[in-house]
Amino acid sequence: MMKKTVFVASLLMAITLLSPITYAKQPPSTPTQSNITYYTLAPDITTNYVTTSNRLGYIRLQVDLMITDNSQLINIEHHAPLIRDTIISIISQQSEQQIKSLAGREKIRQLSKQKINQLLLTETGHPAVNELLFTKYLYQ
């Protein structure tokens, strides 16, 4: 009887060790995102744009900059006034249709990211912004 119990226990252990669940592929490890930093331009950017009826409309933006090189954060903080000015300059050149459409918003976002990186490259030698996000986008 003892041999039978040991045999059954050994058999169950072997089945468990050889089961496909045991050797199921582990999910790939996600890359560490600890080096990603978001810098929020504060306060929000509020500026005007010209509407089709030649009246002034206004837009309020909250802008977050995604930076993957934490050593560039000090450069972003130092040049925040220039970054704000660049975004305001881009917005003031846009039509009401561009401001109010999703495609226009995306164009403004991409253009802002490109111009900011050109500015940072000139000033610091590094295009530090990996992504620019409008986390608040209100217009009237």
pLDDT tens-digit series, residues 16-75: 655 555 444 545 544 445 689 999 999 999 999 888 888 889 999 999 999 999 999 999
- Helical H segments across 33-72, by residue range: none
Q: b/e for 17-45, b at 16 or more Cβ within 10 A?
A: eeeeeeeeeeeeeeeeeeeeeebebeeeb
Spelled out in words, what is the top-level CATH class assigned to the domain 37-139? alpha beta
> Is the pLDDT confidence value at 2 over 90?
no
How many H-runs (helices) and E-runs (strands) does the chain carry? 5, 4
HSE of 124, CA atoms in CB hemisphere, 13 A: 20
User: 32 or 81: which carries more pLDDT confidence?
Assistant: 81
**pTM attached to this predicted model:** 0.73
Residue 114 burial by Cβ neighbours in a 10 Å radius (0-12, 13-18, 19+):
middle
Phi, psi of 39 (to 5 degrees): -115, 120
Q: What percent of the chain has pLDDT over 90?
A: 66
Tokens 């050994």 sit on residue: 10
Mean pLDDT of the chain: 85
- At residue 12 the predicted structure's pLDDT band, cuts being 50, 70 and 90, is low
Least confident of 27-31, 86-90, 115-119: 27-31
Gap between the Cα atoms of 112 and 115, Å rounded: 5
Quick check: 45 and 61 in contact, CB under 8 A? yes
